[in-house]
Amino acid sequence: EAQVTQNPRYLITVTGKKLTVTCSQNMNHEYMSWYRQDPGLGLRQIYYSMNVEVTDKGDVPEGYKVSRKEKRNFPLILESPSPNQTSLYFCASSFPDGHRTGELFFGEGSRLTVL
């Protein structure tokens, strides 16, 4: 079954405690991206990756890091989480051939609370 898998799905943590949200896709997609979703603000892009070892900032990259060492995996790292990073996070993937970049497959989401 084609899917994007995120873990953990739910996490409550404290300010400053480093955490990683994993994302894995089994569709051989080159393009992967992370979004956060907050009420009234919609989905905002954090980072994206066109392929292995190629990553770039989205619209709200501050406080986040990513890596793309393998095609299937694109972890999101919060080195020192803060309460304003409390959000619903989605990982997504697609083929990066122009238009189809926008035909995203999303993971089920990771709800993160930073106290």
Partner 1 sequence: RKEVEQDPGPFNVPEGATVAFNCTYSNSASQSFFWYRQDCRKEPKLLMSVYSSGNEDGRFTAQLNRASQYISLLIRDSKLSDSATYLCAVNRGDYKLSFGAGTTVTVRA
Residue 1, judged by CB atoms within 10 A of its CB (0-12, 13-18, 19+), counts as exposed
**Chosen residue from 12, 14, 27, 41 binding partner 1 by CB under 8 A:** 41
Instruction: Please identify, using beta-carbon distances, which residue of 3 and 28 lies nearer to partner 1.
Output: 3
Residues 52-71 that bind partner 1 (CB under 8 A): 56, 58-59
Instruction: Please identify, using beta-carbon distances, which residue of 69 and 98 lies nearer to partner 1.
Output: 98
Q: Which of 50, 29, 51 has its CA nearest to residue 95?
A: 29
**Chosen residue from 11, 86, 95, 106 binding partner 1 by CB under 8 A:** 106
Size of interface with partner 1, in residues (CB under 8 A)? 28
Cβ neighbours around 86 below 10 Å, total: 16
Cβ neighbours around 10 below 10 Å, total: 9
Assigned token pair, 70: 């393998």
3-state secondary structure of 7: strand
Binding site for partner 1 (CB under 8 A): 31, 33, 35, 40-45, 48, 50, 56, 58-59, 88, 90, 96, 98-99, 101-109
